[in-house]
Amino acid sequence: MSAFENISKLIDDKHSFVLEAGAGSGKTYTLIQSINYILNEKEAELKLNNQHIVCITYTNVAKNEVIERLENNPLVLVSTIHEFLWDCIKRFNKQLIIELDVLNEVMCKEKPEKFESGLKERISSVTYDDSGFRDFEKGKLHHDDVISLSLQMFKNYTSLTQILGQKYPYILIDEYQDTAEETISALIDFLLKRNVNDVLLGFYGDSYQKIYDEGVGSLQSYVDSGDLSLITKDENYRSSQNVIKLLNNIRDNITQITPEGIESPLGSVKFINTTHPQKEKKEKVKDYEARVQPKKEQVYTNLVGELERDGWDFGENGKDKILIIVNSKVAQQAGFGNLYKVYSKRYFDPKESLLKRENQFASFFMGSMDKKTSKERETGIEHLSEFWKNKDYNNVIRFLKRNGNFSLKIHTDKTKTAKILDELNELRKAGTIKDVFEFCTSNALNLLSQSLSNFLKRISLNIDEIEDEELKKRIQKDKDFYEQLMAVNYKEFIYAFKHIQDQTAYSTKHGTKGEEYRNVLVVIDDTSWKQKYNFQNFFSSSEEKEDRELRTKNLFYVSCSRAVENLVVLALSEMNDVSMGVLGSWFNNENVEIK
């Protein structure tokens, strides 16, 4: 039987399951098939009982894709996990206050300087939005708090899980491997086990594609206990024959095949290792790594040139991709390394602040993404410049009227507007961020957000007149960030914007899950992120840290599985003989090269 036929039978039997589906297997298509099967078989029953099918997705992008494929069917509630869990518990305010107080007591022990005991006596309500801002003293929750509180609520209030069991007889979870362990426990240990005859849980995903630390990864323990039935899906509709062979060598729980009737190209796989001079006895690791860096860069540059001469396309909007482990390395290659470094110094997560455009300056220049619809908000200076460059005058006028203080009279101000926008484009290429920012504000090209206005007011304060030492430190950090940011060449914002719009050849391996590209160059380096990844230890089965081995294995699998036709893996850190032996068997010795 096919995976879908197995799922259909389990739906008929009302027995929960997990679908383990390798990369390129058409998992989302099977998820949609499953929902449509339930609708076809149970639509009248669902309507009669005022019930809904729930489909939980990991991202808003996936959520909107599923909604579109289901044509907005009102019987299917599609939401992200945080939206769903909050919707389940938000009406129980009295109980939420009690459970938040319990969570607050835990935080008091961990961070006594930030949290104060006795919270339930001081708050009257608990709220959550997608801003990710936490303030227990005001009853405001962070994303992680919703996960923790939901488990407490599901565990401690049987009536809650009984109500949910009556409302939602079918709950299907996409990308289960990235779902938090607490959420898995809430759904299986409390919701399912208390409603075993009334609720079906379906988990769709791939344990080998778990690349975020907070995800559960595998549900094997629930399969072993009999709570879930395991279904595997072995088709690979994406990759060439040789890429599929390699993927089968990396993983051991699914052997993928090219589906019948699909003409899959032969394709190619190749592994290239870089050799380095030996480390001298008294040489520090940092000094040695600096000494071999020029060779790494030369090997990388030469390889990219060779691949381009062979027809690979790494140009803007090209068909092929270069995958690198860390965002900072991607930023360097993509042309905004200094900008990324400035954000890294100020913010714990520069990916959020810069690349996801959460920071005020990032959104001023590059716009933002609507979290609910996953649609681009074309409100950044870079959007305006694109409109002007493409002679999209309607959008230029619309942008200036909506986002600026521009009192634009279309006929009389046309020449003046053109002159200003031409000057802007020249300044973007040659000036600093400060030059462009001051030009935009003085010409009212884009309104300052309230957040940005507040930031500018804050850094204008004289910190010598402030008594609060913590406030002083924060303001000084903001001042330093502002000065460093303003000194960077504006071109780096242009390159960052192109990267965000996926117009460059570069990406992190984390950022491509679910994506596919004609040809892929994967760049690995054990000196890039030592505490998180070690490829040599993974290849040689010598890793002592289980979590690092799992993280490395999954990231390598996900990276290689992006390739449709041809794959090249370049290891910039030297591999030992044991690792090279394994790689020779995986890639075939004739496809392994040393430079």
The CA distances from residue 321 to 68, 559, 564, in Å, are 28, 10, 11
pLDDT-derived band of residue 510, with 50, 70 and 90 as boundaries?
low
Identify the pLDDT of residue 281. Answer: 85
Average pLDDT over residues 163-188: 97
Estimate the share of the chain in helix, then strand, then coil, as percent rounded to the nearest 5: 55, 15, 35
Identify the pLDDT of residue 403. Answer: 79
Residue 410 reports pLDDT greater than 80: no
Cα separation, 368 vs 365, in Å, equals 9
Q: Which residues pair with 377 in a beta bridge?
A: 368
Residue 409 reports pLDDT greater than 60: no
Identify the pLDDT of residue 509. Answer: 57
Q: What is the pLDDT of residues 219-232, one digit of tens each?
A: 999 999 999 999 99
Between 470 and 359, residue with greater pLDDT: 359
pLDDT-derived band of residue 507, with 50, 70 and 90 as boundaries?
confident
Identify the pLDDT of residue 348. Answer: 86
Residue 188 makes CB contacts below 8 A (sequence gap 6+) with 16, 201, 222, 227, 228
Residue 57 reports pLDDT greater than 80: yes
Cα separation, 354 vs 341, in Å, equals 10
- SS3 label, residue 322: strand
Between 327 and 139, residue with greater pLDDT: 139
Identify the pLDDT of residue 213. Answer: 81
Cα separation, 235 vs 527, in Å, equals 35
- For residue 9 the two structure tokens come to 């039978």
Q: Which of the listed ranges 316-330, 353-367, 394-408 does the model predict with the highest average pLDDT?
A: 353-367
Average pLDDT over residues 180-194: 97
Q: How many CA atoms lie within 13 A of 11 on its CB side?
A: 24
Average pLDDT over residues 500-529: 85
> If you average pLDDT over every residue of the chain, what do you get?
93
Residue 511 reports pLDDT greater than 70: no
CA-closest candidate to residue 307, choices 144, 561, 73, 505: 505
pLDDT-derived band of residue 114, with 50, 70 and 90 as boundaries?
confident
Identify the pLDDT of residue 133. Answer: 79
Q: What is the pLDDT of residues 8-45, one digit of tens each?
A: 999 999 999 999 999 999 999 999 999 999 999 999 99
Average pLDDT over residues 486-503: 95
- For residue 215 the two structure tokens come to 């995800």
The H or E element containing residue 350 is helix 350-350
C-beta pairs of 293-300 under 8 Å, 24+ apart in sequence: 296/525, 296/572, 299/272, 299/274, 299/570, 299/572, 299/595, 300/523, 300/570, 300/572
Identify the pLDDT of residue 487. Answer: 97
Residue 132 reports pLDDT greater than 90: no
Residue 130 makes CB contacts below 8 A (sequence gap 6+) with 82, 143, 371, 372
Contact 254, 232 (CB under 8 A): yes
Average pLDDT over residues 337-362: 93
* Count of Cβ atoms closer than 10 Å to residue 405 Cβ: 13
Identify the pLDDT of residue 407. Answer: 58
pLDDT-derived band of residue 129, with 50, 70 and 90 as boundaries?
confident
SS3 string, 216-251, reads: CCCCHHHHHCCCCEEEEECECCCCCHHHHHHHHHHC
Contact 568, 230 (CB under 8 A): no
Identify the pLDDT of residue 415. Answer: 82
Residue 589 is classified by DSSP as: G
Average pLDDT over residues 93-115: 93
Residue 406 reports pLDDT greater than 90: no
Residue type, 302: N
Cα separation, 127 vs 130, in Å, equals 11
Cα separation, 512 vs 4, in Å, equals 26
Average pLDDT over residues 379-392: 95
Residue 513 reports pLDDT greater than 60: no
Q: What is the pLDDT of residues 425-440, one digit of tens each?
A: 999 999 999 999 999 9
Cα separation, 157 vs 163, in Å, equals 10
Q: Which residues pair with 141 in a beta bridge?
A: 128
SS3 string, 440-490, reads: HHHCCCCCCCHHHHHHHHHHCCCHHHCCCHHHHHHHHHHHHHHHHHHHCEC
Identify the pLDDT of residue 373. Answer: 75
Cα separation, 499 vs 357, in Å, equals 12
Residue 408 reports pLDDT greater than 70: no
Percent of the chain surpassing pLDDT 90? 79
Q: What is the pLDDT of residues 565-594, one digit of tens each?
A: 999 999 999 999 999 999 999 999 999 999
CA-closest candidate to residue 402, choices 421, 427, 383, 429: 383
Query: What is the distance between the terminal CA atoms of the chain, rounded to a whole angstrom?
Result: 48
Q: Which of 99-108, 222-231, 393-402 has the lowest mean pLDDT?
A: 393-402
- For residue 100 the two structure tokens come to 């938040």
Average pLDDT over residues 185-197: 97
Residue 195 reports pLDDT greater than 70: yes
Residue 113 reports pLDDT greater than 90: no
CA-closest candidate to residue 173, choices 371, 51, 17: 17
